[in-house]
Structures are given as C-alpha cells and as structure tokens.
A and B are shown apart, each in its own frame.
Chain A
Amino acid sequence: MEREVSGMRKYYESGKTKEASWRESQLKGLRSALMEKEEDILKALKQDLGKHHVEAFRDEVGILGRSIDVALKSLRRWMAGREAKLPKIAVLSRADIVPEPLGLVLIMSSWNFPFGLSLEPLIGAIAAGNAAVLKPSEMSPACSSLLATILASYLDNNAIKVFQGGPQLGQQLLCQKWDKIFFTGSAQVGRIVMSAAAQHLTPVTLELGGKCPAVVDSLSASWDTQVAAKRIVSAKYGSCAGQACIAIDYVIVERNFAPVLVESMKAWINKMFGENPKENNSVARVVNKQHFSRLKNLLDYPEAKNSLVFGGSMDEDSLFIEPTILVDPPLESEIMREEIFGPLLPIITVEKIEDSIQFIKSRPKPLAIYAFTNNKTLQRRMSSETSSGSIVFNDAIVQYVADTIPFGGVGGSGFGKYHGKFSFDTFSHEKAVMQRSFYTDFWFRHPPWTLNKFQLLQAAYNLDYFGMLLVLLGLKKTRRYSIWAAM
C-alpha cells in the first residue's frame, strides 16, 4: 500500500492531474461509469442496504450525474480563479487568487450512501486536480468492490485508486501523509482521523451527523399538514430507512397538534410503503446485525417501548425494521441522547412551538434543522437563534441536492463544506498571487527611517493621496513628535 501511495504522489508531482484536460477526461469517465454501470450500482445498493432501485437512483446515481455535469460545465471557470481589486496606490500591480490542487488526498466514505458519499467528494477532488485514494466502507461490501472495479476500469489508476478494507486499513492509511483528508462518518472516528491528520498538519473535512430535529408548527391548512407529513415520512423512512446523516432524527410538535400529525403520518406511511413494507421492498433495511441490535436496544428501553404508537415490528433475519413512531419517549432515554440512524422516529411534544428553539439550542449543533411552518417570525427566529449545518423550511433532505449552497456541519456535526463549487474549493488551496513591476518603488518604504518617510507611509496606508502630496511638498504639519522624541 505504501508503495502505491508514494507512486501516486510521484504521478501527482508530474503535473498530469493539474491539466484541465485530465480533469475533464476523468469526470467524463466517471459519468460514463455511472451511465453504463447504473444497473450494477443499483443492484449493489439493493444487496448491501435493500434500497429500492428508484430510491437508489434518486439519492445516489441521479444526484451524482448532476454533480458531474455541474463540475464539467463550470470547471474552466472555477480553475480561472479571480482577481482581487487593488487600491490606487498599487499602480502597476496585479493580484489574483489562484486555486491550485492540494496534492494527494484521502477520501474515507460511509456505508449508508456508499456511492454518493464516495463519489461526490471524489468529483471535487478530481475537479480541483488532485490525486485521490478512496476508502469506501467495509460495511457495504458489494458497493465497495463495485466501486473498486468501476473506478479501476473507467479512471486513470495512476492518480485515482480505491483501497478496500476495514478499520485496520483505515489506520494504516491514516499513518500516511495526505494533503487533505475528507471523512464522512461518526464523531468518534472523526476525532481519530483529525488526531492522525494533526501529525502531518493535514487539513481535514469532517462530515459527521447529529440529531437533526424537524419542528412542525400547528399548521392550519390541512393541505399543509398533509404535505408536511408526507415530506417527513419520506425523509425519515424513504432515504435508506433513516440511516442518513441528514435524516430527521426526531420531531418537535405542539402537544395539541401531535395527534393530527401522527394520524397523517400513519396514513402516508401506509400509502407510500404499503401495508407490508417488508414484503414489497419499499423501505431499505438496516445495514448489519450490529446496527440492528443497536436499534433494537433503543426500542427495548422500557419507557421508550411504552411510548410506541406505530410500527415497532422487527425481523432480525432480514434486518428489517418497520417504520416506527414513538410519542414522548423520556428525554434521558438512549433514543433521545444518541443519533438514531434508523427508521425509529420519536415525536417530542411541547407546550408552545417556540419552546422548540430552546430545546434545540440546549443540544449539540445538528447537521440540519427542518422547520415546517408558515409563520415568518418563527422562521426568522429559528434561523437566527439556532445553529446547524443547514436549515430547511417546509421540506427535508432536499438541501443535499442543491449544489449552490454548501453542505457541511458545524460544531458536533463536523466542519468543512462541499457540493458544487464548494467541493472544488475544499480540495483546492487558494494561492494569493501578486505581481509588481520595478517601475514604482516608493523610497519611503525602506530604512533609514525619517519623519518624512513616516508621514508618507501614514498617508499611503490611509490611501490619503492628497495627504501624500502635502507631505511631499513639505506642507503637512506633524503631530507625531512623541515617537521622534523617544528615538
């Protein structure tokens, strides 16, 4: 492995990956891979996570295709950098911000969206001109090995490689020197990644999770309630069965409105996933036994169990958990302290919907906050008083698709951002480049220091061109005797 990594670094240093044409060819290669291997990809996702193929297309393949198109379309513009405006005193100078690749980067992705969370950062890494190693998660083995084969046959293997393996490989990789590490996963592993990165002064982007709340106002129109319930149900159970870092973790609602919402949600669950979601394969399964028993334990907590109002059935053999709703499980129970990451949805009731703000503020900053409300004041308060990676009003999860806004966490939900141009920036160093000519050299910049030079400098720094003229003509009064006296 070490030999391969150092080979990649050599290749990077040859400058090949910096060429715009190389970047374009790789992005195009990735796009053909997605198109030609779409069926295999959907199959692998089915195998690892039981994702319905339309869901898999919507959440992974489809979005990736769009991201590649955006990158291809914008690449030259992104690469061109931008010019910084200079003040008049800097005559005959020019300043630019030139993006340059960081070098050899490591992407460690997660099992819940094994293609999306691997390739979305990879698109950024390639667009920015880096060489990249991808370590997909060993917990979604079919997807990992498919990624390895696809990338090997469609991309330039001198610069882009997939390493498959578990935590041990992860450790080995982290011992290497990288120019950037992009990690998606848990806070616990995030700490390990960042500590390892510190040894080599490697910048990191950490995409973690957190308990993302959805606040639902007491909506007056029944249409609005229907839409809200539908979007919540879809965002919770319809995207990898709640195993998503931006999935709704719990709902906050006013006590009086809770029954209305719950009833509506129940109806939508039936409508969307059918009477028997396990049989008709409309909800993804839990990734593995370990996570299954973790979720089972969350629900087995006695007081949590008592709060169950819908669903709750589980099948260990097929790792399937039915869409489940709980109302007011105790706040100190595991289910309200840990990120759930599964198809269990606690609904917490409050007296007044405004109380939700304090509720959210008293917990770690989540990756996303969702608020279903038409109340503009509440919207404004929610946005300005809480902190989260993103905040979405009246919908959920769709922010992942919007490539014009950054995707990333804050506080406990991580740091750094990507998607669209932000991915390019994440994998670039913005080099400040300034060019000067020899024609204008202000003698007053250099020692030996005199009062006259001092005054000129002051005027120059204040961009006080008239003042400079006065000093030059000897017309300016000095007020700075003190410093002279001290000399």
Chain B
Amino acid sequence: MDSLCFSSFLSGSHSNFCVLRSSPASPVGSSRAFFYNRLNSKSFQKQIHFNHRCVGFYSLSCSATLSVTPEVEEKQAFDAEKANLLVKELRKSFNSGRTKSYEWRISQLESIAKMLEEKEKDITDALQKDLSKPAFEAFISEVSQVKSSCSEAIQELKHWMKPEKVKTSITTYPSSAEIVSEPLGVVLVISTWNFPFLLSMDPVIGAISAGNAVVLKPSEISPATSSLLANLLTEYLDNSAIRVVEGAVPETTALLEQKWDKILYTGSARVGRIVMSAAAKHLTPVILELGGKCPGVVDSNINLQVAARRIIGGKWACNAGQACISVDYIITKREFAPTLINALKVELEQCFGKNPMESKDMSRIVSPSHFGRLVKLLEEDKVSDKIVLGGQKDESKLKIAPTILLDVPDDSTVMQEEIFGPILPILTVDNLEESFDIIRSKPKPLAAYLFTNDEQLKKDYVQNISSGGMLINDTILHVATKGLPFGGVEESGMGSYHGKFSFDGFSHKKSVLYRSFDADSTIRYPPYTPQKEKLLKAVISGNIFQIILSLINGVV
C-alpha cells in the first residue's frame, strides 16, 4: 500500500517537473535556475534520511538543473545588492504608472485564475511533496481558497477602486470630498510553509488588486511549492512588476534591508519582530500574520458528533494541526472530558481509519526539526503520562498519530508554546467560566473557538475574549468567509487581509478635498476681531442657529 502510494507519487512528481522545465513559455532566468538548483540540493540533504524515494526524485531534479547552471551559483548569491537592483527595477515599473491601471490589475488577476485552472494538479502535487498533504485537503484549504479569493477580486475590483464620496460638514462648506484608494508602491510578501500556496497567493492577489508591484518570498521549508510558485508566476504574470525570490535567511535578510512600501509577513512572532524592526528603518507599514495558542472551549450541551468532527476538521484534517488557526488546546468541563475524548476517538477513526499512521488523509510533519520539536513536547516528563489517545510516531515518515493529552500542567512546554502539530491537550475545569481566565492568561490568539448552545456563554465569550477572529460552534470556517477580515491582535499579529481587506491593506486611503474660490468667508483669517471669534466658534461647532445669530449681530 505504502510503496504503491509512493511510486505513483514519484511518477506524478516527475512528470510534473518535466512539464515545468520544458515549458518554452517560461523564461526561467539564470538566477531563478540557480535558486531552483540550490534549494533542491539543500532539500536533498534534508530529505535524505527520511525517504529514499524522495532522494531519487530530488537527485533527478538536481541533475536536470546542474547542467544549466554549474558556475552561476558562485556569482549569483542573492545579496543586498541584488535585492536593491530588483527593487529598483520594480520601482521603475511602478513609477511608470502601468500597475495602477484597472486593465493591468485585471489582466494579472485573470492570468492567476487561468494558472489555477491549468496548474491545479501541479499545485496539489507540490503540496503533496512538501507536506504529504492529501490532494483533497490541498484543494479545499489552498487551491479553492485562492480561486475564490481571485474571482472575488476580479468581480469586485472596479467597485473597490472607485473613490468613496463622503459628506463634508459646514465647517469646510462649500466643499466636496472623497477617499481615493491608491497603490502603496513596491511591496514584499513573505509567506510560510504550512499553506505555502494559499499564504503566498492570497496576499499577492491583494497586492495586485491594489495596483502594487510585488515581490514574493515563499518559504524554503516547502521547497517544491516554492519553486513551483517561482515558475508559475514567471510564466503567467508580468515579471516587470511581479517577482518571486526564493531562498532562506540570507535572501530574506537581503530583502528586508530594502525600502518597501508595505511588508506582509506570515510566520512566527519571533521573526515578526525582526521583520518589523527592519521595516522601522524605512518607516514601512507592516501586516504581521502570526499565530498563537488558539483555544477551543467545549460545553456539554452540544451535538457531540458534529462538534467532534468539526474539531477534527480544525485540527488533524487541517494540515495535521500545522495551521496558525488550528485548535491548539481544548478546555471542557471535568465530567464531560471522557465523553468528548470518546467522541473524538470515534470520529477520528471514521476520518483516518483504525491505523491513522497509514492514513493518506492526514498531512505529515513538514521537517525533521519540527518533528523533533513535537516529539520533545510529548516526551516531557509532566506530559508523557498524560497521553490518552495516539502518541505513535514514525520518524522515517515524519508522521505523528492524532494525539490527545488530558490535563497537562500549565507550565509544560506543550501549554506554553504554540503546538503546530497533531497534538491536542484537553484541559478540564469545574466551571466553563474558568476557561476565560486560562485563555486570558496567555497572549491573545489568532482564533478562539467555542462549542455551546448557551446564548449567554456565547455573548460572554465574544465580550471577554480577545482574539484575531472568533468562531462559535465550528472551526476554521471564519477564515474562508467572504466579508470577514483575517488577522491577529497583539502576539497573533497586526493588520488584516482577505477580500476587500487585502485591497485596503495594500492601498493608501488618500483624502481628497475639493474647494472652490467662491464663498470665501473672512472669519478664518486674521486680523482677529471679537465678532469674528464669535462667528468662528459657531461655525466650528456646526451650529447653524448660532451662525445666523452672529451674522444678524453684524459681523463681516
């Protein structure tokens, strides 16, 4: 079973790779080829001890690129100088004004839509390679999200771009005013590995909709998707204004030294601080999409089967818990915990079968280092005896079974750090209101979940818990919901995006005020007289009656 899966995976990947390399329309420059090569050889090192078949694939890709760029590697390191040239080039394109036009924006968005249609399989294949993400999960959580985001942008763009007319008050009468959305300039999107396609393309769609030139830096930890993005964006989009830079820390550092007009970063709070500090040097506004320990409070009066499924959907079926909005831990009533655990057990079996380690419907852990980190969480003294379900791990496949921990102490690492994996601690309390204190004792999370039918509890939860987003009686869905902003608060980040919010995030809202030369009242100007003062007070407070009174009393 396993070998069958992998051999087909291998052949699928291989053919995908050939398509990319041989595409004549794709002007893969030498620098791009270099990254391609370098990253692949790097990932080659990484993958070597976990999967022999992968080694086969990667060595194959290496030999394919090696012949093209053996000596380029030395010269073409992407350093600050290169980054500077890149930004200059894009700034030139931006300054030409081309990217501002509706036509340019829509043409780029339509190309993305076309790319999504034509390359769907390549995308799911890359995600399969990087994360063993099941094709369907990849489709649901990444491809289709990008599709809907792109089609919304295409549909709404005209509407979004339209200046917003606003009323003006008597203070500035007569005048008219509008708020114009204008692009910020050249923006940087740094994305991450857990949803490497979605978290790259969704912000890029926003940046393009708003008329910016954009550089995307995908994560080196998901190399297949990273290089796929580099190739696809080169092939489908206007490269004078939209670029992909692949790489790791040195490349990111080189990029961060440049002056950007906006940076959208998705990742950890630690790197978020670095990004924001770098941005401060150039006074660049940032959107930081971070994570946090997203709690799920579970009441006892609920439809247990549905709730259990939805928790699974937001934990294990969501990239094996490697998602910033994944349920991190659960709080429930002490006496209800066994019932909940049992329901989760039953539903988990429904989803992933009796032996979840063999299930193809759950992603693997992204890298050996993250695998090691998760294993450490489980092996901690205070934690290892709290495992009530799962706990199996397979280092060679980077798989960890859906694992539930009951009542781990709060000072354990698993309760102090964002878990980002298929481990779910369940904390028990006597009274659900106690959960508020537990949640509030931790940094504000990106999402907070609650399962209950108690209306008062819902109200209190919304009122008292601060988090980026909040979803009652389900998980994750709020992020895919049109019309809602997606973004964190405090440690879970700042700024928001998705749909119109992406457009706004990458736009500057310029106030435009039109006045005429007619009707110029003298009261604004010196020399100041007591009468002017009176009338001025009336005008500023906007009180028409007072204005008339002052006028009758003989000013001007």
Contacts and interface: CB of A to CB of B under 8 A. Distances in A.
A446 B346 CA distance: 14
Interface in B82-128: 95, 97, 100, 121, 124-125, 128
B137 A449 contact: yes
B541 A238 contact: no
A432 B317 contact: no
Nearest to A482: B121
A449 B128 CA distance: 15
A214 interface: no
Interface residues of A, number: 112
A339 interface: no
Contacts of A236: none
A84 B482 contact: yes
B514 interface: yes
A65 B469 CA distance: 35
Contacts of A1: none
Contacts of A219: 517
Interface string A469-487: 0000000000000110111
A453 B136 contact: yes
Given A401-B540, A438-B306, 18 more contacts: A53-B528, A54-B526, A54-B532, A85-B483, A361-B95, A387-B508, A392-B513, A398-B513, A411-B283, A412-B283, A430-B496, A433-B470, A434-B472, A435-B471, A438-B453, A441-B310, A447-B137, A486-B128
Contact of A446 (B302, B309, B489): B309
B27 interface: no
A391 B481 contact: no
B481 A434 contact: yes
Interface stretch (B54-62, B228-236, B272-280): B272-280
B218 interface: no
- Chain A to chain B: the 5 pairs with minimum beta-carbon distance, closest first: A84-B483, A194-B280, A198-B276, A405-B511, A54-B528
Contacts of B189: none
Interface in A190-217: 190-191, 194-195, 197-199, 201, 203, 206, 208
Contacts of B290: 201
A476 B140 CA distance: 19
A431 B467 contact: yes
Given A206-B283, A436-B472, A486-B125, A230 B493 contact: no
Interface of A: 13, 15, 18, 52-55, 57-58, 62-63, 65-66, 69, 84-87, 90, 95, 97-98, 100, 102-103, 179, 187, 190-191, 194-195, 197-199, 201, 203, 206, 208, 219, 221, 223-224, 227-228, 230-231, 234, 238, 271-274, 280, 282, 361, 374, 379, 383-385, 387-395, 398-399, 401-407, 410-412, 414-417, 429-438, 441, 445-449, 453-454, 457-458, 461-462, 482-483, 485-487
Given A62-B537, A487-B135, A194 B483 contact: no
Contacts of A52: 526, 528
Nearest to A280: B527
Contact of B537 (A57, A95, A441, A449): A57
Interface string B507-550: 01111111111001000111110001100110011100000000
Interface in B152-171: 166-169, 171
Contacts of B511: 389-391, 399, 402, 405-407
A466 B156 CA distance: 24
Nearest to B526: A272
Given A190-B283, A402-B171, A86 B466 contact: no
B139 A454 contact: yes
Contacts of B306: 438, 441
Given A273-B526, A415-B285, A447 B540 contact: no
Given A52-B528, A394-B515, A411-B261, A457 B140 contact: yes
Nearest to A199: B273
B8 interface: yes
A69 B541 contact: yes
Contacts of A487: 5, 8, 135, 360
Contacts of B516: 394
B387 interface: no
Interface in B463-519: 463-464, 466-474, 477-478, 481-486, 489-491, 493-496, 508-517
A402 B172 contact: yes
Nearest to B536: A58
Given A390-B510, A392-B513, A447 B361 contact: yes
A435 B135 contact: no
Given A398-B515, A434-B470, A201 B8 contact: no
Given A486-B8, A487-B8, A62 B177 contact: no
A33 B351 CA distance: 64
Contacts of B167: 404
Which secondary structure dominates chain A's binding surface? Answer: mixed
Given A84-B482, A438-B303, A461-B144, A404 B168 contact: yes
Contact of B179 (A13, A194, A405): A405
Interface of B: 5, 8-9, 12, 95, 97, 100, 121, 124-125, 128, 134-137, 139-140, 144, 147-148, 166-169, 171-172, 175, 177-180, 182, 184-185, 261, 269, 272-274, 276-277, 279-281, 283, 285, 288, 290, 302-303, 306-307, 309-310, 312-313, 317, 350-353, 359-362, 440, 453, 458, 462-464, 466-474, 477-478, 481-486, 489-491, 493-496, 508-517, 520, 524-528, 532-533, 536-537, 540-542
B168 A55 contact: no
A272 B527 CA distance: 5
Contacts of B273: 198-199, 201
A11 to B, nearest CB: 15
Contacts of A223: 517
B283 A238 contact: no
Contacts of A453: 136
A393 B513 contact: yes
B312 A432 contact: no
B280 A404 contact: no
Contacts of A190: 283
B485 A86 contact: no
Contacts of B121: 482-483, 486
A434 B479 CA distance: 10
Contacts of B470: 98, 431-434
Contacts of A446: 309, 312-313, 317, 350-351
Nearest to B262: A415
Nearest to A486: B12
Given A87-B482, A404-B166, A461-B147, A66 B542 contact: yes
A109 to B, nearest CB: 18
Contacts of B351: 446-448
B540 A62 contact: yes
A402 B277 contact: no
Contacts of A13: 440
Looking at B185, B464, B509, which has the most chain A CB atoms within 10 Å of its CB? B509
B485 A97 contact: yes
Nearest to B494: A203
Contacts of B168: 402, 404-405
Contacts of B288: 201
Contacts of B532: 54
Nearest to A445: B313
A374 B514 CA distance: 11
24 contacts: A58-B540, A206-B283, A282-B528, A383-B180, A392-B515, A393-B514, A395-B175, A402-B175, A405-B168, A411-B185, A432-B481, A436-B472, A438-B303, A438-B307, A447-B136, A448-B351, A454-B136, A461-B148, A462-B148, A483-B124, A483-B135, A483-B139, A486-B8, A487-B135
